[in-house]
Structure 1
Amino acid sequence: MKALQGVEGRVEWAEHPAPVCDIGEIRIRVAAAGLNRADLLQRAGLYAPPPGTTEVLGLECAGVVSEVGAGCAWKVGDRVCALLSGGGMAEEVVVDARHVLPVPDGVTLHEAAALPEVYATAWLNLFQLAGLKPGQKVLLHAGASGVGSAAIQLCKAFGSPSWVSVGSPERLAYCESLGAQGGVLRGEEHLQTLRDFAPFDVILDPVGGSYAALNLDLLAQDGRWVNIGLLGGRQAELDMAVVLGKRIQLIGSTLRNRDEQFKADLLRDLQQFVWPLFAEGRLKPQLQQAFALKDAEAAFAALATNQVNGKLVLVIDSALV
Structure 2
Amino acid sequence: MKALQGVEGRVEWAQRPSPACDVGQIRIQVAAAGLNRADLLQRAGLYPPPPGASDILGLECSGVVSEVGAGSAWQVGDRVCALLAGGGMAEEVVVDARHALPVPEGLSLAEAAVLPEVYATAWLNLFQLAGLKPGEKVLLHAGASGVGSAAIQLCKAFGNPCWVSVGSVERLAYCEALGAQGGATRDENLENLCDYGPFDVILDPVGGNYAALNQELLARDGRWVLIGLMGGREAQLDLAVVLAKRLQLIGSTLRNRDDQFKADLLSDLSQHVWPLFAEGRLKPQLERSFPIKDVELAFAELASNKVAGKLALLIDESLL
The TM-score normalised by the length of structure 2 is 1.00
CA distance in 1 between counterparts of 2:308 and 2:99 reads: 26
| Corresponding position of 2:85 | 85
1:38 lines up with 2:52 in the alignment: no
Query: What is the correspondence of 1:152-167 to structure 2 with a 5 Å cutoff?
Result: 152-167=152-167
Query: What is the correspondence of 1:150-299 to structure 2 with a 5 Å cutoff?
Result: 150-187=150-187, 189-299=188-298
Task: Map Cα deviations across residues 254-289 of structure 1 (whole Å, 9 max, x no partner).
Answer: 000000000000000000000000000000000000
Output the amino acid matched with 2:148. G
Unpaired segments of 5 or more residues in structure 2?
none
CA distance in 2 between counterparts of 1:103 and 1:54 reads: 23
Output the amino acid matched with 1:191. L
CA distance in 2 between counterparts of 1:55 and 1:142 reads: 27
| Corresponding position of 2:123 | 123
> 1:319: Cα distance to partner?
0.3
Output the amino acid matched with 2:275. P
| Corresponding position of 1:147 | 147
Output the amino acid matched with 1:90. A
After superposition, the CA RMSD in angstroms is 0.5
Unpaired segments of 5 or more residues in structure 1?
none
CA distance in 2 between counterparts of 1:9 and 1:297 reads: 11
> 1:190: Cα distance to partner?
2.2
CA distance in 2 between counterparts of 1:26 and 1:288 reads: 29
> 1:55: Cα distance to partner?
1.0
1:15 lines up with 2:15 in the alignment: yes
Task: Map Cα deviations across residues 185-223 of structure 1 (whole Å, 9 max, x no partner).
Answer: 014x42010000010000000000100000000000000
- Secondary structure at 2:319 match in 1: coil
CA distance in 1 between counterparts of 2:186 and 2:266 reads: 33
Query: What is the correspondence of 1:69-108 to structure 2 with a 5 Å cutoff?
Result: 69-108=69-108
Q: Aligned residue pairs: how many?
A: 320
- Secondary structure at 2:317 match in 1: coil
1:315 lines up with 2:314 in the alignment: yes
CA distance in 2 between counterparts of 1:127 and 1:41 reads: 27
> 1:54: Cα distance to partner?
1.2
Task: Map Cα deviations across residues 93-146 of structure 1 (whole Å, 9 max, x no partner).
Answer: 000000000000001000000000000000000000000011000000000000
CA distance in 1 between counterparts of 2:52 and 2:273 reads: 30
Output the amino acid matched with 2:235. A
CA distance in 2 between counterparts of 1:318 and 1:263 reads: 29
- Structure 1 stretches of 4+ moved >4 Å: none
Name the % identity: 79
Output the amino acid matched with 2:227. I
